[in-house]
Amino acid sequence: MSEQTSNDIAISDEVMIELKGVNKWYGEFHVLKDINLTVRKGERIVICGPSGSGKSTMIRCLNRLEEHQDGQILVAGTELNNDLKNIEFIRREVGMVFQHFNLFPHLTILENCCLAPIWVRKTPRKEAEATAMKYLERVKIPEQAHKYPGQLSGGQQQRVAIARSLCMNPEVMLFDEPTSALDPEMIKEVLDVMIELAQEGMTMLCVTHEMGFAKTVANRVIFMDGGQIIEENEPEEFFHNPQSERTQLFLSQILNH
């Protein structure tokens, strides 16, 4: 099914992320219920659903910002468990972009981008700075390199956050509602960067309500509700022919407003 994507991006058979029977509770509250998902290298997956449906929790489990209590998560062939080595390995290979950017306000844009390559990957400073400038050019803000995050607009900050993650040369990028905290006029500049990234073949999991983005680049859309994956389909089918009642209701609410 994934070979018939709308924009012909190659997807290999190599499995990048695998969730098997994952369950998670916050105290008594069952947030993730028996999640099974396989993501192959090069796939772009959009996850949507009402708030509280567990979509953010699910992708935050993929780099251990949240801990799952049951089931198995494999990322880039490594199992996420209590072994710190595995967690650190996976975090190096998985980039994450947050709703509130979470740039480091005491460091310049360039330092934000170089920090992890220098301290985690042990890249020499010169090389790390060159890489950082390359990515800052890709997200179209090289001229801001020596400013502090607080001097940038929300859209610019989010593009820096994307560049910062890319500097670690990750295998997978996770996006946790990357445009939800942005003013409407800035959403497009961030989405453009994400679309470009997708077209270059990055494996991406995006929690987002930007259905236009889903239609353009996703090769699968996942709908979650009540901690479960309710429906999973290609975007074309998902939007025009939703199977479950809950999906239909959700789509009617977000598309017809």
Partner 1 sequence: MIVNDQKLPDLPPPASTTGVVGWLRTNLFSTPFYTLLTLVTLYVLYVTLVPAIQWAFIDADWLGDSRDACTSGGACWVFITARLDQFLYGFYPESEHWRVNTLYLMLVILIGALVWEKTPKKGWIAAFTLIIFPVIAYFLLVGGSFGLEHVETHKWGGLMLTLVLACVGIVASLPFGILLALGRRSHMPVVKSFCTVFIEVWRGVPLITVLFMASVMLPLFVSAEIEFDKLLRALIGITLFQSAYMAEVIRGGLQAIPKGQYEAADALGLSYWKKMGLIILPQALKIMIPGIVNTFIALFKDTSLVLIIGLFDLLAIVQAALADPKWLGYSVEGYVFVAFAFWVFCFGMSRYSQHLERKLHTGHGAR
Q: How far is the CB of 152 from partner 1 (least distance, A)?
A: 9
- Nearest-approach distance from CB 65 to partner 1, in angstroms: 5
The C-alpha atoms of residue 66 and residue 214 are separated, in whole angstroms, by 25
Least distance (Å) between residue 105 CB and partner 1: 4
Residues between 130 and 149 that touch partner 1 (CB under 8 A)? 148-149
Region 80-99 residues binding partner 1, contact defined as CB under 8 A? 88, 91-92, 94-96, 98
Taking every pair of Cα atoms in the chain, the longest distance, rounded to a whole number of angstroms, is 55
Interface positions, 189-248, toward partner 1 (CB under 8 A) = none
Note whether 24 binds partner 1 by CB under 8 A.
Answer: no
State the DSSP string of 124-161: -HHHHHHHHHHHHHHTT-GGGTTS-GGGS-HHHHHHHH
User: Considering beta carbons, is residue 155 or 235 the nearer one to partner 1?
Assistant: 155
H-run or E-run covering 45 = strand 44-48
> 218, 139 in Cβ contact below 8 A?
no
Q: Which residue number, 20 or 100, has a Cβ lying nearer to partner 1?
A: 100
**Could you tell me the smallest distance in angstroms from the CB atom of residue 249 to partner 1?**
32
- Residue type, position 24, single letter: K
CA gap 118, 111 in Å, rounded: 10
d(CA 190, CA 113): 17
Nearer to partner 1, 104 or 137 (CB): 104
Q: Which of 119, 180, 248, 254 binds partner 1 (CB under 8 A)?
A: 119
**Residues between 48 and 87 that touch partner 1 (CB under 8 A):** 63-65
Residues in the chain: 257
Determine the angle formed by the axes of helices 154-166 and 184-199, rounding to 10 degrees.
20
> Which of the residues 2 through 21 are near partner 1 (CB under 8 A)?
none
Which residues are at the interface with partner 1 (CB under 8 A)?
Answer: 63-65, 88, 91-92, 94-96, 98, 100-106, 115-116, 119-120, 148-151, 157, 164-165, 168
